[in-house]
Amino acid sequence: MTHSNDQTAEGALPRVDVVVATHNRPELLRLALDAVWNQTYAGEIVCHVVFDQSEPDQEVARTSATRTIRLMTNDRSPGLAGARNAGILSGSGELVAFCDDDDEWLPAKVEKQVEALLDSEALTSVTGITVLYSDHAVTRVPRAEDMTLKQLVRNRVMEAHMSTVMVRRDALLGPIGLVDEELPGSYGEDFDWIIRAAQAGTFAVLAEPLVKIRWGQSLFSQRWQTIVDSIDYSLAKHTVFHEDPQALGRLYGRKAFALAAQGMTRPALQQAYQTVRVNPRERRAYLAGAVALRVVSAERLMRIAHSRGHGI
């Protein structure tokens, strides 16, 4: 694929559209927007703040010579996927970046990612993260070899967080595609998108933590049935999961854990057994069994995982 670099050819830096989907988190949103506004990048940044099922906060809108914060409501399907797409389609910049409303970019993020993309043929760029949970801070940095389709499917690579993503608009609207609005509850929309990005092209990886990720704010933390439905949807959609026992076992194990967290003992144990048959080394199967048998609570295991910068 060839990319339009007319702007850079004329000596100007490409415009970056930033999509921030938000829902009733005004204090965190302001922190996220300040971090976007204060980027060291010398080019233009237009931030599209998409209010999903909530009223726009007019006080956060502002503009300067090279910065604009625009407000809009989600006019697509309710939820994170529709809100992201609404923001994407409202812009026209050559590059598109995402930031969740409870995360913060470090000042040089945009500058470094634009440079990385302009110096490569990669369609997408990701960076490392610092996970903030309670009083813990854990740094997680992706390696270039992690950002292959095989590794992403097998390990999820949480370091490649959506708040670190910058992508060429022609790839986003072309071979990669928009965020999937059919995913139940928009759960896992970021992973689904990253898989498609890996299928379409390569990543420019900045192996340094350029985004602060706040955990414990997730809207999905107790939506266990939505998680089950989303895993079933993803397994039906992506054949690549069925080609790798580790990848399949990981999803089966997460489904078993979600079933156990709902108190669905028999289905959880059946799913855990199926997980072990696929991959006996998949630890989530045993964690799910412990939760199903009430040896430990799902919440306690989630807290332990989050404190170490991981999920279940």
| Residues 137-172: b if buried by 16+ CB within 10 A, e if exposed | ebebbbeeebbeeebbbbebbebbbbbbbbbbbebb
Half-sphere exposure of 42 (CA within 13 A, CB side): 5
Residue 2, pLDDT score = 40
Residue 27, pLDDT score = 94
Residue 222, pLDDT score = 63
Residue 8, pLDDT score = 47
Tell me the whole-structure pTM to 2 decimals: 0.90
Residue 303, pLDDT score = 82
Residue 195, pLDDT score = 96
Question: pLDDT tens digits for 268-302?
Answer: 999 999 999 999 999 999 999 999 999 999 989 88
Tokens of 222: 């107790």
pLDDT < 70 stretches in the chain: 1-11, 216-222, 308-312
Q: Using DSSP bridges, classify how beta strands 62-63 and 95-98 pair: parallel, antiparallel or unpaired.
A: unpaired
Alpha helices in the chain (DSSP H): 6-9, 26-37, 80-90, 109-118, 149-155, 169-171, 189-200, 224-237, 245-261, 265-278, 283-292, 298-307
Q: Which residue has the tokens 């998949």?
A: 282
Residue 159, pLDDT score = 80
- Rounded distance, CA 254 to CA 159, Å? 18
* Separate counts of helices (H) and strands (E) for the chain: 12, 10
Sequence-ordered list of residues with C-beta below 8 angstroms from that of 2, at least 6 positions apart, any chain: none
